[in-house]
Structure 1
């Protein structure tokens, strides 16, 4: 009798998974269902679909764990389980799975664990430990998050500067921008702020141009104007840019012409070449 009950429950479970009409909206789910009991990739993809698209976290958990049973070396599976349990606020389970990923050498798991300790548990020393671990495992963004933690939460500016610079070395374009903000807002060091805003602009962080031009305006009006002109076509039209320079900044025509030529030589990803 027990054997038949177990078999019936198994069949019910299979039918429930196979007949979930929510899956029909997404490509490939029918194929994944056909071999998910023996194929880790299919089971994992079903877990992702339930997790990220359908938002059914219990189903996502079921399929992630099915995938893990089929492939317990898959760090994507482990990392996804850590993220899922964090989302479900089951931090004990999240930590367990993330640590499995860390032990397997997965930078994403170390980064997810650091985020959990920082944002959910407010355990900053442990967050720092795992951000450093994540960076050592190749997760470049961990340097930026670590710098932000030192900068905005702990107010440990020397450590923030150190890790922002590591982010800069790895061409993480938000690092020089936030480093410039630190120098401008927290340390009131305008020369260094200008230096790092320029590096941010060079990496394509166009929001840095606005901050840079405001700092340069009273120091070098031609250079500040050049950076403003370079923004034409990046969210600003030629007409509104020139009106802003003429009416708001009171820049004379000769300076605008000089600035146009100067911006063509600036070390930035894109220049405005449409003429004045």
Structure 2
């Protein structure tokens, strides 16, 4: 099995499972008012779309449908930035002191232009470039001599690096007054989340090396494929982070119920005795 075939199989497995889980979460939270459940579903669906767009057969199919052979090479980084933006917002909602509407609005006004501006600039550069046929997973190496492609990657790397570093710093500064147990549980999950973001930066480093090393007739296609392995590792780490947090949340809920149950029984017994005493 070649690297492309292996990545195809892995991409499809991750895409189907992640999007499926995201849809289940979205359905479960359709009547809930808790933002984090909806955001978790959005992150999962976006993460699944990244792998779907990068699957060679889907890459070519979408390119044919939209009459732009390499459009998925734009959709992958754009969806990645959207995914990071969702994760960035989730970190705000996990910190009680930042959940106020005014604080969230300030965060949106501060970071919204960064994400939107990067996506708009990348889109403009892509459509301005003169590109040839589709080359799934080899976009950076195939078009390393196209100025617009280099600029597109530079914009993406800058936006991703800034937002990832900021999100990681906020993860490390997480605090919930009066609930050190919740902080400890969250930080265990966030350790995997930080690792996922770190793998995204590994992808940046490998792709940069691919572009620098691909000159003239020499194309580092193998190195370009290896960059995608970092993205696969990132997805696995992020899914572990989300899964572990959900499991810990359920464990805490069960512990709280176990603690409250005797109190409820005692309260019911007291109410029964009071009723019996007051009866004529």
TM-score between the two structures when normalised by the length of structure 2: 0.24
Q: Radius of gyration: which is bigger?
A: 1
Q: Which has the higher contact order (CA 8 A, sep 6+)?
A: 2
TM-score, scaled relative to structure 1: 0.24
